[in-house]
Amino acid sequence: MAETAEIAIDRISMVYTLPDSEVDALNDVSLDIGKGEIMSVLGPSGCGKTTLLNIIAGFLSPTRGEVRVAGKPVKGPGAERGMVFQQGALFEWLSVTQNISFGPRMCGKDRAETADTVQRLLGIVGLVDFADKPVYQLSGGMQQRVALARCLANDPDVILMDEPLGALDALTREKMQGLVLRLWKDTGKTILLITHSVEEALFLGERLIVMAPRPGRIEKEFRLPFADEALEKPARDVKAGSEFVAAREEILSMIWDMEEEIMGDNG
Amino acid sequence: MSRQKPSGLAIWLGLSDNSFTRQKTVKFGDAAAVNSGRFYSLLTLAVLIVAWVVASAFELIEPFYWPSISGTWERLVKILGEGFRNTALHDHVGISVYRVLSGVFYGALVGIPLGFAMGLSSIGRGLFDPVVEFMRPIPPLALIPLIILWFGIDEFAKIFLLFLASLFIMTIAARSGVSSVRITKVHAAYSLGASKLQILRHVILPNALPEIFTGLRTSMGVCWGTVVAAELVAADKGLGSMIMIAKNFLQTDTVVIGIILIGIIGYIIELIMRRLEQWLIPWRGKG
C-alpha cells in the first residue's frame, strides 16, 4: 500500500488499566499528516493529546492500532522524529553549543560538518553570542531556542512539539511563534504541535485538531489560512483579523463546553 | 532626614545590612535578610579565648581538668618539635586523613556502581535493597567489634570500617541521583538518537553528579568522625589514638590540642568539598 502521509495514525486506542477501572486515554483515533504540514493539537487536559504525541514519538506503544512514520511502523524513539519539550529538557551541564551538537555527536556524525551545522543553527535562532554559555544562564525564551536548534541539528523528518512555548511569558511567546513559523517554512519539516493556547494553535496550525476527553478522541478538525498569512504580513495583523477572532471564539466556546461537561460529571 | 551610608567594614562585620536588605521593610522571616553576623562570631571567639586566658592566669581550673593556655602552647611547640610518642604531629594528622580518603575512595568505587544498578534495574534494586536498608541505620562504630574479630586492628581493618561507613552513603546518594533524572531529558536524548550506553554516560551520569557529590561530602564528614572514634579504640597512630594515649598519661593539654585539631581539620575538609563542588558542578540545582 503506497502511503502519502508522513505520519499515519491508524486506529489507535490507548487504555490504562487501574486497579478498579479502565481509562480510555485514546479511543480509535485515526489521522494522517502530510509531508511538510504543520498541525496543531488542542484540547482540555485529559483528552489524550500528550499520550498521542508520546505514541508517535515512540515512548508509548498503543493498546490497539499502529502509527507509521514515512511508511514505517513506529517501534520506539528515533532520530528521524525530533522532539521539543516544554522546558527542562536541555542538558544543564552542557553549553549551548554542546547541547545543539548532542544529536550529531551521539549519532557519530562528522565533527567538522557538525560544527558547521551548529554555527548555522546558532545564527538562525539568534544565539551566536551565547554559543559557549552554559544553558542555565539563559532566559526561558533563549533556552527554548536552544531546544529548537538542538532538535534541528539532527535534521529530523518530523518534529513533535509538546507545549514548547507553554512556560514563556506572553511577549516572548509571540516572538517564538514567529520563529517556529519561519523554521517550518524554511526547512519544510512536518511539524505536530501540542498546545494549550487557542491563539497559538490557530496561528501555527495549517490544520488544527481539537480533541475531547473520556474517551480521548478527535472532536473536530479545522483547515486554517493563518500560518500562511503570517508569512506575508505581521503576526499582530493576522491575530487581529476578524476571521482569526471568529475562529478563536468558536474554538474557545467548544472547549469551554467540554470543560463544563467534565465539571458537571464530577459535581 | 538623610540616611547615612554604612561603611564597607560595618557591612563585612554584619553590623549593617547591605543596600539590598536595608530597603526591605519586612526582615523577620526572610532568611535572606539574616546577614553573616561576623562581629558576633568574633565576639564569641574572643569571649572563649579571654575566658581561657583569665582562667589560666588566676589558676581557676586544675590543669588535670583543663590545661592553662600557656601550658598548652608549650606542649604544642614541644609536639611540633619532637612529635608525640615517636611520631610527628603531621604524621598523626596525615594518617587519619589518609584513612578517611582511602575509605571514602573505596566506598565511592563500590557504592556508585551499586547505586546505579539499584536506580536503573529492578533486579539490582531487589538484590541490594535489603542489605542497604538494613545497614543504613547502623552506626559504623557498632561494627568495630566485629571488624576487630575479623581483621584484627591493623591498617586494613580501619580502612575497611571507613569503607563500610561511606559505602552505604555513596550507594544511596548515587541511587537517588539516578532516580532524580527528569524523564524529559532521557526522552530528549533518545529522540536525538542516543543509545542506552550513551544515555547512561551523557545524561544519567552528569545528572547524578550533584547528588553523588553531596554523598561524597557527607561521607567525608561521617568518616572523619568515625576514624577518630576507631583510633580511640585501637590504633597507635592518628589523632584519635594520640588523644587516647595522652589521656592515659594524664596529658590533658595534648588531649585538648588533639580535639581542636580534629575540629579544625573537619571544618577544612568541609570547606574544600564546598569549593570543589562549586568548581566541578556549577550547574547544581539549575536544571
Cβ contacts (< 8 Å) between A136 and chain B: which residues?
283, 286-287
> What's the whole-number mean pLDDT along residues A179-207?
92
Decide: A34 and A59 in contact? Cβ < 8 Å.
no
Report the distance separating Cα B276 and Cα B82, nearest Å: 35
A106 shares a domain with A24: no
Same-domain status, A180 and A254: yes
The domain that holds A247 is classified in CATH as 3.40.50.300
Same domain, residue pair A201 and A250: yes
Please check the confidence at residue A94 and state whether its pLDDT lies above 70: yes
Q: How far is A250 from chain B (nearest CA, A)?
A: 33
User: What residue segments make up the domains of chain B, in order of their start?
Assistant: 8-66, 89-280
Give CA–CA dist B161/B240, Å, rounded. 15
Indicate the residue type of A258: M
pLDDT in tens, B6-46: 888 999 999 998 888 888 889 899 988 999 899 999 999 99
pTM over 0.80: yes
B43: left (phi over 0), alpha (psi -120 to 50) or beta: alpha
pLDDT, tens only, B126-144: 999 999 999 989 999 899 9
Grid cell 493556547 in the structure block, residue: A197
- Kindly report, residue by residue over B144-197, the tens digit of the pLDDT: 999 999 998 888 999 999 999 999 999 999 999 999 999 999 999 999 999 999
Chain B residue with the nearest C-alpha to that of A160: B191
pLDDT for residue A267: 43
Asked if residue A215 has a cis previous peptide bond (ω within 30° of 0), the answer is yes
| A207 and A92 together in one domain | no
Could you tell me the CA-to-CA distances from B241 to A189, B63, B149 in Å, in that order? 72, 21, 19
Q: Which of A55, A86, A92 to mutate to test the interface with B (most CBs of B within 10 A)?
A: A92
β-strand partners of A31: A9
CA distances for A100 relative to A121, A179, A258, B208, angstroms: 8, 17, 40, 21
* Per-residue model confidence as pLDDT tens digits over A107-160: 999 999 999 999 999 999 999 999 999 999 999 999 999 999 999 999 999 999
The pLDDT of B251-272, averaged and rounded, is 94
Count of domains forming chain A:
2
Helix or strand (DSSP H, E) at B226: helix B205-233
For residue A101, the enclosing domain spans 86-155
Mean pLDDT in residue range B42-70: 93
Between the alpha carbon of residue B256 and those of residues A117, B71, B240, the distances in Å are: 65, 11, 12
- Is residue B1 scored above 60 in pLDDT? no
pLDDT at B3: 62
Residue type, B223: C
Q: Are B281 and B217 in contact (CB under 8 A)?
A: no
Same domain for A146 and A163, yes or no, is no
Picking from A155, A188, A203, the residue at the C-terminal end of a domain is A155
pLDDT of residue B22: 87
Question: Do the beta carbons of residue A82 and residue A161 sit within 8 Å?
Answer: no
Question: How high is the pLDDT of residue A265?
Answer: 58
Interval B85-122: pLDDT, tens: 889 999 999 999 999 999 999 999 999 999 999 999 99
φ/ψ of A26, rounded to 5, equals: -140, 140
Residue A1 binned pLDDT confidence (cut-offs 50, 70, 90): very low
Nearest CA in chain A to B283: A93
A121/A166 same-domain check: no
Say what percent of chain A tops pLDDT 90: 71
Instruction: Report whether B240 contacts B227 (CB < 8 A).
Output: yes
Residue A266 reports pLDDT greater than 60: no
Residue finishing a domain among A101, A126, A155: A155
Average pLDDT, stretch A52-74? 94
* B89-280 fold: MetI-like fold (1.10.3720)
Q: What are phi and psi of A101, to 5 degrees?
A: -85, 5
pLDDT tier for residue B209 given thresholds of 50, 70 and 90? very high
Same domain, A187 and A259: yes
Beta pairing, strands A190-194 & A158-162: parallel
From chain A, the residues in CB contact with B209 under 8 A are 93
pLDDT for res B188: 96
**How wide is the angle at C-alpha B229 spanned by C-alphas B227 and B232, nearest 5°?**
110
Any idea how long chain B is? Answer: 287
CA B266 to the chain's CA centroid: 6
Q: Which of A58, A76, A85 sits opposite B188 (nearest CB)?
A: A85
In terms of Cβ atoms closer than 10 Å to its own Cβ (0-12, 13-18, 19+), residue B145 is: exposed
- Here the cell at position B14 is 554584619
**CA–CA gap between residue A34 and residue A6 (Å, rounded):** 5
Short-list B255, B257, B172, CA closest to B215: B172
| Integer angstrom CA distances of residue A173 from A140, A168, A199, B67 | 10, 6, 11, 70
Indicate if A212 and A230 belong to the same structural domain.
yes
Here the contacts of B149-157 (C-beta below 8 Å, separation 24 or greater) are B153/B234, B153/B235, B155/B99
Whether residue B249 is predicted with pLDDT greater than 50 in this model: the reply is yes
Do A145 and A184 have their domain in common? no
What pLDDT was estimated at residue B164?
A: 94
Average pLDDT of the residues in B228-245: 89
Residues of A in contact with B202 (CB under 8 A): 91, 102, 106
Inter-chain residue contact A79 with B184, CB threshold 8 Å: no
Query: Which of the listed residues A116, A140, A155 is the one where a domain comes to its end?
Result: A155
| Residues A33 and A143 both lie in one domain | no
Listed in sequence order, the residues at least 6 apart from B145 whose beta carbon sits closer than 8 Å to its beta carbon are none
What sign does the dihedral A157-A162-A166-A167 (CA atoms) show? Answer: negative
- Cβ pair A89, B184 in contact under 8 A: yes
d(CA B78, CA B269): 26
Contacts of A81 in chain B (CB under 8 A): 191
A88 and chain B: CB distance < 8 Å anywhere?
yes
The reply to whether A75 and A102 lie within a common domain is no
Over residues B249-264, mean pLDDT: 94
Residues of B in contact with A107 (CB under 8 A): 192-193
Q: Is the domain of A70 the same as that of A180?
A: yes
pLDDT computed for residue B199 by the predictor? 97
